[in-house]
């Protein structure tokens, strides 16, 4: 923890985190476009998280990007931040 109380994560801890490795657009069951975000976990497994339009755009805002290509390399925590913003807006 830093002097002002903020949580500080070490480089090692960050390296142990799940990382977004890509995102693709797909068609959802309800006829909407959805974002399939691929996440690589520290053990090497790649999983997927599906986001609707609100959550997808919120994730992009949270990452401060307007190009899907910019999601690669971002922490999985950005998804949480985006979804939280989206659910409280």
Partner 1 sequence: MFDIVIRNGLVVDGEGGPGVLADLAIQDGRIAAIGQNLGEGKQTLDATGRVVAPGFIDPHTHFDAQLLWDGQARPALEHGVTSVIPGNCSLSLAPLKIADRATVVGMFQQIEEMPPEAFTEKFAKWTWEDFAGYCAAIEPDLAINVAPLVGHSLIRLWVMGAESQQRAATADEIVAMQALLRQCLRDRAIGLSTSFVDVDANGRPVPSRFAEFAELDALCQVLGEEGGKMLQVVPEFYDADITIARIDQLADFSLKHGIPTTFSPVFDSHATPKAAPRILDRVAEQFARGARVWPQMQTRPIDISFSMLNPSLFLARLPRWVRVLRQPLEQRIAALNDPATRASMIADCGPDGGEAMFGRLVVRGGDRAPEAYVGRRLGDIARERGEGAAEAAIKISCENGLDVAFLAANGGHDDTGRIGPMLANPLVHIGASDGGAHLASFSTYGDTGYLFSEFVRASGDFTLEQAVKKITADTADIWGIKDRGRLKPGLAADVVVFDADTIARLEERPVHDVPGNGLRYIRSATGVDAVLVNGAVVYADGAYTDARPGAICN
- Binding footprint of partner 1 on the chain (CB under 8 A): 24-36, 47-48, 50, 52-53, 56-57, 60-61, 66-68
DSSP string, 47-64: EEEEE-HHHHHHHHHHTT
Cα–Cα dist 75/14, whole Å: 8
Q: Which is nearer to partner 1, 12 or 67 (CB)?
A: 67
Measured over the CA atoms of residue 74, residue 78, residue 52 and residue 56, the dihedral's sign is negative
Residue 29: CB minimum distance to partner 1, A: 5
Q: Which is nearer to partner 1, 31 or 44 (CB)?
A: 31
Residue 22: CB minimum distance to partner 1, A: 10
């Amino acid at each position: 923890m830093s002097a002002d109380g903020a949580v500080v994560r070490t480089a090692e801890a960050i390296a142990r985190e799940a990382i977004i490795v890509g995102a693709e657009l797909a068609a959802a069951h309800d006829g909407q476009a959805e974002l399939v975000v691929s996440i690589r976990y520290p053990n090497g497994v790649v999983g997927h998280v599906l986001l609707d339009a609100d959550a997808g755009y919120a994730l992009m805002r949270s990452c401060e990007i307007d190009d899907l290509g910019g999601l690669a390399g971002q922490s999985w925590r950005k998804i949480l931040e985006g979804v939280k913003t989206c659910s409280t807006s």
